[in-house]
Structure 1
Amino acid sequence: MRWTLKPKPQAEKVEALQKALQIDSILASLLIQRGIETYEDAKHFFRPSLDDLHDPFLMKDMDKAVARIEKAIANKENILVYGDYDVDGTTSVALMSSYLKTKHNLVYTYIPNRYDEGYGISYKGINFALENDFSLIIALDCGIKSVEKVAHAKKLGIDFIICDHHRPGDKIPDAAAVLDPKQDDCEYPYKELCGCGVGFKLVQALASKEGKTANDLTEYLDLVASAIGADIVPIDGENRILAHSGLRIINTNPRPGIKAILNQVEKTELTITDVVFIVAPRINAAGRMKHGNFAVALLVENDNDLAAKYAAEINDYNLDRRETDKQITEAALKQIEEQKEQNRLTTVVYHENWHKGVIGIVASRLTETYYRPTLVFTKSGNKLAASARSVKGFDIYNALEACKEHIEQFGGHKYAAGLTLEEENYEAFKQAFEDVVAKTIDKNLLTPEIKIDAKIDLKDITPKFYRILKQFAPYGPSNMTPIFLSENLMDTGFGKCVGADKKHLRLTATQPKSSSKLIGIGFSMGDKYDMISEGKPFRAVYSIDENEWRGNVSLQMKLRDIKK
C-alpha cells in the first residue's frame, strides 16, 4: 500500500481555530483539512440542523414538479411512483409513495424487474402505466437519460416527473419536470444528493405548501440515511445533515421495516458503516435475488409482525446472495488466472450463466483483489450486461464514454457504472476499454493508497480527544474516518494471531519513554506478525474506535497497515 501523508494546514489557521474552539492542535488540523476554518463552520459541522437545508425551490423545475403533482391530486389522477431496484431506488419509492398516500388515495408503486427490464425506465413499465390508466409517473433514481422512453410516454398521454442524481446526457428528457442538481443549468447549491435525497427535496417542497418544514418530515429520514450510506455519496453539505438526522431516527424510532432488519443483528447503536453493511445488503438482496417489490413492501409496512415476516424472507434472499456471490467470485478469479491476464491494466470477465443480481458485488471483490478498473459481464436476454467498478481516483464513467461506439447503453458514476452491449461487440469493447485505461490512468492509482490525516503519538489519544473525534461522524466520501500514523512503536510482548484461522493480528502498542499503551486489531493482517514480534520497532496507520467487551469499553487502534 502507498502511504500518503496529507499536507499540514497553515499553522496560523490551526492556532486560530484551536483558540476559538478550545481544542488541541491535532483536532483543529483535522477540521481545517475538511474545510472547517471558523467557529461558525464548526458549529454547523458538529451540530447539523435540518434548518440549514436549502430551499427546495432553488432546484430547477421544482415549481413545475409541485404544480404537476398538485394538479394530479386535484383531478384524482392515478400516480405511479417508479424507481430502480437498488437501495437508493427502493427507499426513494417507499419515501415518495408513503408521503403521497397521506394526500391522495390513487398512488401505486412500480419497480422494474432486474432481469427482463434492466435498469431504469422501461417500455414494459410505461405499458403497465398505460394499461392501468396512470397519467403521471414519478421516476426516482433513474430517468435522466431516458429521452426516447419519456417521449414515447408523452405520446401516450403519460407525463413524467424525473427525480435523478446521475449525470445527464447531451439531451434532457421532455418531461413535465426534471429534478437533477447535476444539470448544467440547475443552480441548486448542493450537487451530491442521492436519488432518495432528490425525492426528499420534492417531498419537502410539497410539504412547504402546507407550512411544514423538514423538521415535520423526520419519519422519512431513516430511508434517506440508508440511501446515502448505500449509494456512497459524499457526506458533506446537505448529505451530512440528512445522514446525521436519519441515523438518529434509525437509532431511536425507525420504521417497522428497518426495525425488523435491526432485530436480526445484535447492535446497540448503528453508524453509517453499519447501515452500509447491515441494512443495505438486505434491502438490495430483494432486487438481486427476487424482486425489488419485496424491499418496498418491507419499507412501507406499518405492522410490526408483518414487517418481521418480510424481513425474515429478505434475510433468506441475502443468505442466497452471499452464497451465489462467493461461487461467482471464485469462478471469476479462476478465469483471470487461466487467462493469465494479470499484466493488463483492466479486469474484464464474462460467463453467460453468472447471476446478474450479484455481478456488481463480484466486480467490487475483483477490484479489491487486483486493484484494477473492473467489469463483470453476464448474459441478459440476447445481450451482455456488465457491472463496472473502479479504483480510487479513476473515473470509469469517462472511460466507458470513450468506448461508447461498442456499447448500447450505459450509466452511473465515477466509481460504479452499468452497461449493456451486443455479444459480437464484447471482444472489441474489451480491447478498447483496456486501451483507454492504459492511455489515461496514472499508474500510481493501481496501488491502493492510504491517505493519512496526521502523525500522532499514542499519548495524544485521550478520552477527551476521542470524545470530540467521535463527533466527526457520520463518515463517508469527503469526510472519511480520520487515519493516523504513529512511528517507533513496539509490541509489549502480547502480540499474536487471532481468530479461528489465525488470520487476524492483535497487539498492544507502546512507544519508548511513554507510559501510553493501546491495543491494536488488524483484520486479515496475521501475515504481518513477524514485523511486530520480538520487540521489533514498527510504524502503523490506523483509525481509532471503541472496543466493547463484557460491558467494558476501551479505545483501540483499528490497524490499516504496518511497515518496518
Structure 2
Amino acid sequence: MQKRWSVREMPDQGNVEKLASELNIDPVLSALLLQRGIADFEEARFFFRPDIRHLHDPFLMADMEKAINRIEKAIDKGEKIMIYGDYDVDGTTAVSIVYSFFKKFTDNIEYYIPNRYTEGYGISTQGIDYAAANGFDLIVALDCGIKSVDKIAHANSLGVDFIICDHHLPGDQLPEAVAVLDPKRSDCDYPYKELSGCGIGFKLIQAYAEKNGIPFEEISCYLDLVAISIACDIVHITGENRTLAHYGLQQLNTNPCTGVKVLMEVAGKKERVNISDVVFLLGPRINAAGRIDDAKHAVELLIATSMEAAREKGALINIQNTERKGHDLSITDEALSIIKQDEVLINRKSTVVFNETWHKGVIGIVASRLTEKYYRPTVVLTRSNGHVAGSARSVLGFDLYEALSGCSDLLTQYGGHKYAAGLTMPPENVPAFMDRFEEVVNATITPEMLIQEIRIDAEITLDQIDSKFFRVLSQYGPFGPENMTPVFLSRGVNLHNQPSLVGMDHLKMCVMQQGSAIFDCIAFGQALWLPELKRGLPFDICYTIEENVWRDRRSIQLNIKGIRLSDQL
C-alpha cells in the first residue's frame, strides 16, 4: 500500500538549543519535548518524573460529592449495590476495581456485565429489571450510561438509583441519575478530560478513600487495571493518564493482582510489560471472554484472590482467545474475498460488507483489518437478534461518527467515537445503508485521507543514536495517543548485510551510515522491498527505536515503518 511521509516542522532552533542545554540532552530530543508543549526545565521535570501527587483532587469532578454520599448511605443502611459495566476491557477492569474495593466495606454488593448478544452495549432494560426484581437499591454504572436518559428514567420509576461513571461525550440531556461523573460534561471543571472509564472508577474509589481516611496505598494496588484500561481503550496518554499509566505499569511489573499475573502467564510474557504488550497480549484475552462467551469470566479472573481460581479462569480465557483468533482470520478472509470479487466495492471510497452468519464478537477486529488493507472508512455487518449489527472503523482525519449521523434515518441505533463506532439497523435497510454511507464518505473525505500517512517527528543521522540517546528517549513513555513513540527519518543508509525474509512478509537486516554503528532492523510488512534492497543502492528509512532482547542480550533495534530509494521524493 502506498504511504505518504510527512515530517513535522521543527520548533524554533533557539528554543531547541536552549532547552537542550538546560537538560544536557541531544537537540533532537529537546525538539521532541517542544513538540509536546514542554518548553522549560520545570515542565520537563514534571514530564520525566511522573508523581502520584500529580493526580487531581477527585472532588473537583462534578457530582463526586453526591456520588460518595449516596454510596456511604447505601453501605451504612445495608442496601444492595450493583456494580454495572460494559463488556470490553475498559468496562471489565472498571467493574473489577470498584467491586473489589467496595466489597471490603459491604457484603451486599454484586456486579453485572450485560451480554453482548442479548443485551448489547451499555445500560440495558434487562439489567435494570434484574436489579429491581432482586432488591438492588443502587447501581453504579461504569464506562457507559451518559446517553441512557430513557433507561435511567425507567430505573427511577422502579425505585433504583443510579450513579453514572462515564467518559464518553454527553448528549444534549444528562440522565436524571443521583450523580453523573463525566469530565466531558460541559459544566464539569475537572482539569483533565481524557480519563478512561476505569479511570473514572478509580477517581470514585480515590474520593471515597480520601473522605474516609483510607491511605492511598490501599487503592494504588488497582493501578495495574487502570493502566490496562488506558492502553486498551486508546485514550490519550498525557497529563493524569500518563501518571496513572506510569504507576500502573510499575504495578504490573512488580506486584500485579492475581488475575493479571495469571493473564501474563498464559500470554507467555516473561519480560517487562509495556503499553504495547498490554494492547496486543493482555487486552485481547480480556476482550475474548465477552466476544466468545460472557465477559463475566474476565471479571472473575481480575477479581480472583487465589491462584487456583485465577488459573482456572485464565485457561478458559486463553482458549476463548484462540477461538476468537480463528473466527477473526476466517471472517477476514471471507470479507476480503467479497471485496476482491466485486468491482464496485473495489473502487469505492468506503467498505461495507455484510454476511448474516459472521460472529458478532469479532466484527470490530475484522473492520480494523480491512481498514489496514484498503485504508478507507469501513463497516462490517452481521445478523444479530433479528437486527443487523455493525462495527465501523475510520482512517486518520475522517470523522466516522459524523458520517454515520448522515445515515441516521436508516439506523436503529449508533454510537462511538471519531475513529470507531457501532451501529444497528433493520435487515431491509442494508442495501440502502451501503449506498448512503458511500455517498456521505465520497462527499466529505479528501484524497489525502485515503493515503496512509507516516508522521515523522524528526530527521536524524544514525550516528546520533547511542545508549544515552536511547535512555533519554525511553523516558518519554509510556507511549500512546497524543504521546506516540517518536518516528525518525534517516536518509541514504546502506545495508551491512543481505536482508532476510522472516515469515511471509517481514524483513530483517542490518543498516549503517558513514561513521555510524551498525543497527539491527526489523521491517514488518516490507517484504516487497527485498528485490530493490538487494541491488545495494542507498535508501531512506523511517523508524522507531526500541530495545531488542534475545537470550539475555539487549541491543538497540530499529523498527522500520517505511522504506524508499534515496532518489525518490
TM-score class, shorter: over 0.9
* CA displacement 1:414-433 (0-9 Å, x = unmatched): 11111111112222222222
C-alpha distance 351-98 of structure 1, shift in aligned 2 (>3 A)? same
Q: How many positions carry a matched residue from both structures? A: 561
Alpha-carbon shift at residue 526 of structure 1 (Å): 1.7
Normalised to the residue count of structure 1, the TM-score between the two structures is 0.98
Whole-angstrom CA distance in 2 between matches of 1:214 and 1:467: 31
User: Aligned AA for 2:27?
Assistant: S
Distance 1:111 1:91 in 2: 11
C-alpha separation in 2, matches of 1:168 and 1:419: 18
**Aligned positions of 1:369-518 closer than 5 A:** 369-492=373-496, 494-501=497-504, 503-512=505-514, 514-518=515-519
Aligned-partner SS, 1:139: strand
CA contact (8 A) 1:490 1:532 kept: no
Determine helix, strand or coil for the equivalent of 1:559.
Answer: strand
Q: 1:266 to 1:53 in 2, by over 3 A?
A: closer
Partner of 1:560: 561
Q: Tell me which residue corresponds to 2:527.
A: 526
CA contact (8 A) 2:458 2:487 kept: yes
Preserved CA contact (<8 Å) 2:259 2:303:
yes
Give matches, 1:249-398, under 5 Å. Answer: 249-264=251-266, 265-340=268-343, 341-398=345-402
Name the residue aligned to 1:124: 126
| C-alpha contact (below 8 Å) 1:21/1:39 kept by paired residues | yes
Matched letter for residue 318 of structure 1: N
How far apart are residue 394 of structure 1 and its match? 1.3
Q: Give the counterpart letter for 2:82 in structure 1.
A: L
CA distance in 2 between counterparts of 1:109 and 1:335 reads 41
C-alpha displacement of 1:496? 2.1
SS at 2:260's partner residue? helix
Helix, strand or coil for the counterpart of 1:561? strand
Inter-partner Cα distance in structure 1 for 2:175 and 2:405 = 19
Whether the 8 Å CA contact 2:83–2:111 is kept in 1: the answer is yes
In the alignment, structure 1 segments of 5+ residues that lack a partner are: none
Q: Name 2:109's counterpart in structure 1.
A: 107
Equivalent residues of 2:502, 2:508 under 8 A apart = no
**How many Å separate the matches in 1 of 2:501 and 2:44?**
40
Q: CA deviation at 1:374?
A: 0.7
Residues 167, 412 of structure 1: 8 Å contact kept: no
SS in 1 for 2:507: strand
Distance in 1 (alpha carbons) for counterparts of 2:259 and 2:165 = 24
Judge conservation of contact 1:194–1:228 (CA < 8 Å) in 2: yes
- Distance in structure 2 (CA, Å) of the matches to 1:49 and 1:212: 19
Alignment deviations for residues 230-289 of structure 1 (CA, whole Å, 9 cap, x no partner): 101110011101111101000000001000011121431010000001110000000000
Instruction: Tell me, in whole angstroms, the C-alpha distance in 2 between the residues paired with 1:338 and 1:468.
Output: 50
Partner-residue secondary structure (3-state), 2:208? helix
Name the CA shift for 1:108/1:403 in 2 (closer, same or farther; >3 Å).
same
Partner of residue 98, structure 2: 96
**Correspondence for 1:163:** 165
Deviation, 1:214, is 4.4
Instruction: State the Cα distance separating 1:510 from its structure 2 match.
Output: 1.5
**Residue 547 of structure 1: aligned partner:** 548
In structure 2, what is the Cα distance between the partners aligned to 1:455 and 1:47?
Answer: 27
Query: What whole-Å deviation, never above 9, does each CA across 1:447-484 have from its counterpart, x for those lacking one?
Result: 11110011000100010100111111111000000100
The whole-number CA distance in structure 1 between the counterparts of 2:332 and 2:194 is: 31
Mapped partners of 1:329, 1:535: distance in 2? 37
Distance 1:515 1:108, change over 3 A: closer
- Give how far 1:215 is off: 4.7
CA distance in 2, matches of 1:428, 1:550: 56
Q: Retained in 2: the 8 A contact 1:51–1:214? A: no
Cα-to-partner distance string for 1:521-553 (whole Å, 9 max, x where unaligned): 112212211232232010000001112222221
Q: Give distance in 2, aligned partners of 1:22 and 1:337.
A: 55
| Aligned-residue offset at 1:487 | 0.3
Once residues 461 and 515 of structure 1 are traced to their aligned partners in structure 2, the CA distance between those partners, rounded to angstroms, is 9
Cα distance change, pair 303–444 in 1 and its aligned pair in 2 (3 A): same
- Per-residue CA deviation, residues 423-444 of structure 1 (Å, 9 max, x unaligned), is 1222222222212212222220
Give the Cα–Cα distance (whole angstroms) in 1 for the partners of residues 142 and 269 of structure 2. 32
CA distance in structure 2 between the partners assigned to 1:467 and 1:424 by the alignment: 58
- Counterpart residue type for residue 433 of structure 2: F
Q: Which residue of 2 aligns with 1:39?
A: 41
Give the secondary-structure state (helix, strand or coil) at the position aligned to 1:388.
strand
Amino acid at match of 1:550: R
User: Equivalent residue for 1:51?
Assistant: 53
| Residues in 1 aligned to 2:424 and 2:227: alpha-carbon distance in whole angstroms | 30
- Asked if structure 2 preserves the Cα contact closer than 8 Å seen for 1:455 and 1:485, the reply is yes
**CA-to-aligned-CA distance 1:376-397 (integer Å, 9 cap, x gap):** 1111111111111111111111
> Is the partner of 1:263 in helix, strand or coil?
helix
Instruction: Rate the CA distance shift 1:421–1:213 in 2: closer, same or farther, 3 A.
Output: farther
1:137 matches 2:139 = yes
Structure 1 vs Structure 2 CA RMSD: 1.2
SS at match of 2:341: helix
Q: Is the 8 A contact 2:499 2:533 kept in 1?
A: no
* Residue 239 to residue 515, structure 1, CA distance change in 2 (3 Å): closer
Normalised by the length of structure 2, the TM-score is 0.97
- Judge conservation of contact 1:531–1:563 (CA < 8 Å) in 2: no
- Counterparts in 2 of 1:355 and 1:96: CA distance versus 1, 3 Å: same
Which one of 224, 227, 230 corresponds to residue 226 of structure 2? 224
- Aligned AA (1:358): V
Which amino acid counterpart does residue 168 of structure 2 have in structure 1? H
**8 A contact 1:204–1:213 mirrored in 2:** no
Which runs of no fewer than 5 residues in structure 2 stay unpaired?
none
Which amino acid in structure 2 is aligned with residue 245 of structure 1? Answer: Y
2:32 to 30, 48, 59: 30
Of 354-363 and 33-42, deviating more is 33-42
Between the aligned partners of 1:207 and 1:292, the Cα distance in structure 2 is 28
Is the Cα–Cα contact under 8 Å of residues 495 and 505 in structure 1 kept in the other structure? no
Structure 2 letter corresponding to 1:287: G
Contact 1:349 1:376 in 2 (8 A): yes
Q: Return the alpha-carbon distance in structure 1 between the equivalents of residues 554 and 428 of structure 2.
A: 59
The CA distance in 2 between the partners of 1:413 and 1:379, in whole Å, is: 23
* Superposed CA offset, 1:487-507 (max 9, x none): 011112x12223244x32122
Which amino acid counterpart does residue 412 of structure 1 have in structure 2?
G
